Structure 1
Amino acid sequence: MLAEHFELIEAIGLNLFYAFIFIFIGLTIHDVMKKNDVPKMGKLVVYFVLFLGCAGFIAKGVIQFVFESQGVG
């Protein structure tokens, strides 16, 4: 049974790893900005860029799912 679902388990594990990395990066950036007293506009820009990186991975996953469900690739 494990061999049959190996790709699914691998994909879920990789997605969880990416989520952990983004959360860890966000917490690290938050800590650095808090210690260095960054203005509110600077924090907004930094979090927006971090969100764009996250959104890119989510968009990649959605596009990949759509292509695979239609038989492309």
Structure 2
Amino acid sequence: MLDKLLDGIDILGLYFGLAGIFFFIGMAIQDVLKKGDVPKFGRYVVWLVLFLGCSGFIAKGLIQVFWQGAGVG
């Protein structure tokens, strides 16, 4: 019982930690873009790349959850 609870807390800590890292990366990028006077098109490209990286991570997690639930992996 305690092992499952600790595993759940560990997983939640990992996901919240990674979400925090993505948040701070986004804040750092925003700061660099503002201080560097980057044109609008360049800003959109940077945010698109950041979004695709985050969405790829989320998609990987969802695929892993669905496959494990179906007994594939």
Give me the TM-score of the superposition, normalised by structure 1: 0.93
How many angstroms apart in 2 are the aligned matches of 1:28 and 1:72? 39
In structure 2, the residue corresponding to 1:4 is in which secondary structure?
helix
Extract unaligned runs of 5+ from structure 1: none
In structure 1, the residue corresponding to 2:8 is in which secondary structure?
helix
Which is worse superposed, 4-13 or 62-71?
4-13
**For each residue in 1:13-37, what CA deviation from the matched residue of structure 2 results, as whole angstroms up to 9, or x when unmatched?**
1110110011000000000110010
Higher helix proportion (structure 1 or 2): 2
What is the Cα-based RMSD across aligned positions, in Å? 1.0
Written as runs of structure 1 = structure 2, the 5 A alignment for 1:1-73 is 1-73=1-73
Shift of 1:2: 3.3
Extract unaligned runs of 5+ from structure 2: none
Give me the TM-score of the superposition, normalised by structure 2: 0.93
Give the letter aligned to residue 51 of structure 1. F
Give the letter aligned to residue 37 of structure 1. D
How many angstroms apart in 1 are the aligned matches of 2:4 and 2:62? 23
Of all paired residues, the percent bearing the same amino acid is 55
**Structure possessing the higher relative contact order (Cα contacts under 8 Å, 6 or more residues apart):** 1
